[in-house]
Amino acid sequence: MTLLRTIRSVFTINSRKYSSNLQIKKPPKILITGGLGQLGVECAKYLRGKYGRENVLLSDIIKPTTEVFNDGPYIFADILDFKGLQKIVVNHRVDWLIHFSALLSAIGEQNVPLAVRVNIEGMHNVIELAKQYGLRIFVPSTIGAFGPDSPRNPTPNITVQRPRTIYGVSKVHAELLGEYYYYKFGLDFRCLRFPGVISSDPPGGGTTDYAIAIFHDVIRKGRYECYLKPDTMLPMMHVRDALRALSEYLEAPNEMLQRRVYNVTSMSFTPEELADRMVKHLPEFQITYKPDSRQEIADSWPQVFDDSEARRDWNWKPQVDLDDLVKLMVKEVKEKIAANGF
């Protein structure tokens, strides 16, 4: 009986310790840079729902809308100002850094020197910041990190890359630098290569953004002129899946991760296939095709993304297919246009 009592006593004490550890575990304090770009605002909303409004700090160099400002903490942060970034991390006791600041593919080609500063020098600053303060850092990459020498269907996680846009070059640089800091300094660097991310926000200058612009133009004007050929297949993902992938990957224990950089995707489709699905919801619209310089970029990118390693290592699985994406976009874009009064 004495031994039994001792075992019960030890079990009770250990259980109390375990329970108290669960109770005192605090959510991470998260800083998002480039927060008014393609993913930032939606990412902040998503993570605030999980970790609390005050624990997600949105930042950019642009004045936010009233809605964004009222939604949660927002501050000015210039990724080219290292001392300013240090001050933010110290004053706000930041634990995780999500680095969205970047010029996208088509915009970057129009201003290469600025893209080098923002995409490359900015990356140097945030990764050194993360190393200095022991932060977990997430940097998104892209299908644009691949080039014409890469296998396109499917594109595996590890293969030749050699992109031909400054955006793609800067993302390969970020991937390799982050992996180097992980192996050299033990930095908790994490990166996902996203496909085209589709949301109801207006297009932001990416080559895959035709799949956003088509909904805005068709709903507003009843027609759309596509800058890619009708049979141009590219990998895509609704923003819901993108944010869920980001969140699940950030939470995954390090011991589960065999890589620091993973492909993720939901589907692949062409402009013609997307238009065919849209007809079910918007029966009368016109689509024409006038390929421009973005066609050359798209022709160098993956057609089908192989994300089997993400599925294997941290159980990634998309939930939004093409039919779901079209339904969501029609509904969300209509709501956004109505709310903005145009």
User: What residues are paired with 60 via a beta bridge?
Assistant: 76
- Give kind and range of the element (H or E) at residue 120: none
Residue 133 annotated among the catalytic residues of the structure: no
The rounded mean pLDDT for the chain is: 92
Q: What percent of the chain has pLDDT over 90?
A: 86
pLDDT of residue 104: 82
Tell me: the pLDDT tens digits for 277-314?
999 999 989 999 999 999 999 999 999 999 999 999 99
Tell me: the pLDDT tens digits for 96-151?
999 999 988 888 999 999 999 999 999 999 999 999 999 999 999 999 999 999 99
Q: Which of 18, 51, 74, 167 is an active site residue?
A: 167
Predicted model pTM: 0.90
